Amino acid sequence: MRLNRFLAATGITSRRGADELIAAGRVTVNGKPCTDFHFQPGPTDHVKVDGKLIHQRAPVHILLNKPRGFVCTRRDPHIMDTIYDLLPSEFSSLAYVGRLDAQSEGLLLLTNDGELTQRLTHPRFKIEKEYEVVLDRAASLDLAQRLLRGVLLDGKRARAKHAQQISPKRFRIVLEQGINRQIRRMLECFGFHARKLVRMRLGNLRLHDLPRGKWRYLSVQEVCVIPSKTVSSTRTERSRHRGSFKVARRDSSAFARKDDESR
């Protein structure tokens, strides 16, 4: 295991963060600075960051069904209820993967595995996130297609990968991007508001029957399947055509460009 992966696996930082620590000369191995990104620490090597000995910890992965009204933060003097209030104290150091805003609900993964966090959040892996959304009023006939074409948010084209209307006010939306409050902001651009927003799936992880406000450990099978579904972009492309529900598809690039020019 290379040095950056070793550091990420301890949970102190992501792999990219580990690269920055190594490049800055803040990492030592057996008392000597190590800036070799290819170095692989052995079981008898002493690895330190800023003089502090780093130990590999046993990975912990838990799934929380976040209720509405709880904030994804550890400490804030102005906030009463945080997600860590729902967890045992020994989980207070776990990092959440893909935050949910205070008014959103559903699947939230917490872990001390920096490498796993990187795989689930880095844009190049295109991890799907599936949500069920209840609107404040009945949707327009073209809302699904408009969600697929997208809008400009923070200088980027924000769009849904899949969008399915389940009822006049209810949608199932799948994202690959990680733009802040993406679904709520996209809907607001089209004159709608999300009255309820629940994340049902992250990659291959699902809530199933986990009660609201409760947590559980990930199974070995769930942890093992995460890397196998994030390494290859071609697998992601093939999986686009699989699924248990019919969805609206993104329009052709020519149609999308025409829409861009009309805005």
Calpha distance 2→45 (Å, rounded): 13
Which helix (H) or strand (E) is 117 found in, with range? helix 114-121
Beta strands in 40-146 (DSSP E): 47-49, 52-53, 61-66, 95-97, 105-111, 129-135
Note whether 84 and 37 are within 8 A (CB): no
Note whether 2 and 37 are within 8 A (CB): yes
Q: Is the dihedral of CA 10, 12, 17, 21 positive or negative?
A: negative
Which tokens in the block code for residue 29?
């191995």
Q: Which of 36, 81, 101, 136 is catalytic?
A: 101
53 CB-side CA count, 13 A: 5
Strands 47-49 vs 52-53: parallel, antiparallel or unpaired: antiparallel
Q: Residue 158's beta-bridge partner residues?
A: 151
Instruction: Specify whether 101 is catalytic.
Output: yes
Q: Which amino acid is at 47?
A: V
Note whether 159 and 150 are within 8 A (CB): yes
Q: Residue 172's beta-bridge partner residues?
A: 132, 164
So which residues are the catalytic ones? 101
